[in-house]
Structure 1
Amino acid sequence: MCMIKTLGSRGEDIAADFLEKKGYKIIRRNYKTPLGEADIIVKDNNTIVFVEVKARTSDAFGQPFEAVNYRKQEKFKKIALYYLKHNKIESPVRFDVVSIISQNGKNEVNHIIEAF
């Protein structure tokens, strides 16, 4: 479990760096609510983007982004609504996934814009 947590945290760091280099402004990381957690919240021009990060050490069991199933998408949307409501934000919203395969010292990053 500890190794998985470390991989997840490292994946979020990789994703945050990747997004910043693409010009996104990081608003929050690890935003916790009673409903769950949003890995990264960024701003892309006037759009608030909720980013789910999935990291794996291989694609043996499929691409990391495939783990963001319908149930997780619906939960993530509720977390986003919670954030917007509690911060009194009215803005266009988007849901992205950053999928990372980290193996042999290299990171393959796949940014899926408007993933759901």
Structure 2
Amino acid sequence: MARKDDLGRRGEDCAAEYLARAGYTVVGRNWRCGQGEIDLIVAKDGDLVFVEVKTRSGTGYGHPFEAITVAKLARLRRLAGAWCAQFEPRARHIRIDAIAVIARPGHAPVVEHLEGVS
């Protein structure tokens, strides 16, 4: 399990760096409540974005985006609502994005970003 956790952490680090280079500010990481966890919370141009990061070492078990199910999206919407209720952000728009990281051993990670998945 530690190997999977390390891969997930590496993917979240890659996603945070990717978003920072794209002009986003990281507001939070790994925010948890009784309903689950939000990987990244970022802001840009007055928008608040909740980001689900999926990382794989390859695509042998499918693309990372395939792991984001309808149930997972519903949970992310609930989590985003819980975060907003707790922190009362002043955002122009709020959305949920997904980032896939494919981190093949010996290769630079490949990052894909989908905006507004839910």
TM-score by length of 2: 0.94
Q: How does 1:1-116 map to 2 (within 5 A)?
A: 1-91=1-91, 92-103=93-104, 104-116=106-118
State the alpha-carbon separation in 1 of the partners of residues 5 and 30 from structure 2.
Answer: 13
Give the letter aligned to residue 107 of structure 1: P
Is the Cα contact below 8 Å between 1:41 and 1:50 reproduced in 2?
A: yes
1:32 offset after TM fit, Å? 0.8
Aligned residues: 116
Instruction: After superposition, give the CA deviation of every residue in 1:38-91 in whole Å (9 maximum; x if it has no partner).
Output: 000000211110000000000112110110100000001111000001112253
4+ residue stretches of structure 1 with deviation over 6 A? none
Give the letter aligned to residue 3 of structure 2: M
Helix, strand or coil at the partner of 1:93? strand
| Ranges in structure 1 where 5+ consecutive residues have no aligned partner | none
Give the letter aligned to residue 107 of structure 2: G
State the alpha-carbon separation in 2 of the partners of residues 70 and 27 from structure 1.
Answer: 25
State the alpha-carbon separation in 1 of the partners of residues 54 and 62 from structure 2.
Answer: 12
1:105 offset after TM fit, Å? 2.6
- Over the aligned positions, Cα root-mean-square deviation in angstroms equals 0.9
Identity %: 33
State the alpha-carbon separation in 1 of the partners of residues 3 and 31 from structure 2.
Answer: 22
